[in-house]
């Protein structure tokens, strides 16, 4: 397991990440990853019903500045940094039970990327977790459809899961005629498992500020110390 120099949160740092973690983590031996892969067809079937029903909670991704077309990157949230979307979870009972059995799980969201849609390069929320993609539907691989994290690239293979460090700059593209479906699961890395409540509060605070000003750039002019202070103070309300 790689060492961690410091906790990194995108809002507080507002810059590129150059930490010690690998771009992609090896999670193949983790029990929760094995269980998710084993149940991927059940998870896909539950989500397929959501898509077929055009569920009202299948919504554009929260940060609408990232996708080349905001309506072409949609999500169906189950958990978002410790906050449970109860109605959505009730519609996907098996998926919810599986992910809620992972003690260090902080977020879980279905994600759909439409054909001919890209997600621009960006740094994610933090370096404290494994951000995992369980592939539910993907008919194409590289170079037509893929993901870059740092200098490394990967593709989605149906039924398989991979994990990456969300703090590094990453981008996604789908230049095909097919949709890509994944279940995104955030699981705190081992050094941070015991601080789940505190870390969720920090990220929820930063997300609140980012969403409030996502189409403005006011915070880019704030020094790092002031953004960190704002994150720490705001986290007490989440």
DSSP string, 4-47: -SS--BHHHH-S----SS-SEE--TT-HHHHHHHHTHHHHHHHH
Please report the pLDDT score of residue 231 as a whole number.
Answer: 59
Please report the pLDDT score of residue 75 as a whole number.
Answer: 98
Higher pLDDT, 19 or 93: 93
The highest-confidence range among 63-67, 117-121, 210-214, 219-223, by mean pLDDT, is 117-121
pTM of the model: 0.89
Give the residue carrying structure tokens 């893929």.
146
pLDDT in tens, 87-127: 999 999 999 999 999 999 999 999 999 999 999 999 999 99
Percent of the chain surpassing pLDDT 70: 84
If you ran DSSP here, which 8-state letter would residue 229 be given? H
């Amino acid at each position: 397991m790689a060492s961690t120099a410091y906790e990194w949160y995108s809002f507080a740092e507002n810059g590129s990440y150059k930490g010690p973690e690998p771009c992609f983590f090896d999670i193949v031996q983790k029990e929760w990853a094995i269980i998710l892969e084993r149940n991927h067809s059940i998870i896909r079937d539950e989500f397929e019903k959501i898509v077929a029903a055009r569920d009202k909670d299948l919504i554009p991704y929260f940060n609408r500045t990232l996708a080349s077309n905001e309506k072409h990157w949609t999500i169906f949230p189950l958990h978002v940094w410790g906050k449970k979307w109860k109605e959505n979870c009730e519609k996907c009972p098996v998926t919810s039970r599986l992910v809620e059995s992972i003690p260090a799980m902080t977020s879980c969201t279905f994600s759909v990327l439409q054909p001919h849609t890209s997600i621009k390069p960006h740094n994610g929320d933090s370096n404290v977790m494994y951000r995992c993609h369980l592939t539910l539907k993907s008919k194409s691989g590289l170079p037509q459809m893929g993901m870059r994290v740092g200098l490394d690239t990967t593709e989605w293979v149906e039924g398989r899961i991979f994990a990456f460090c969300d703090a590094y700059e990453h981008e996604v593209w789908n230049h095909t005629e097919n949709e890509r479906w994944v279940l995104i699961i955030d699981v705190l890395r081992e050094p941070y498992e015991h601080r789940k409540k505190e870390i969720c509060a920090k990220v929820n605070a930063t997300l609140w500020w980012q969403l409030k000003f996502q189409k403005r750039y006011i915070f880019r002019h704030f020094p790092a110390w002031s953004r960190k202070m704002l994150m720490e103070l705001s986290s007490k309300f989440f």
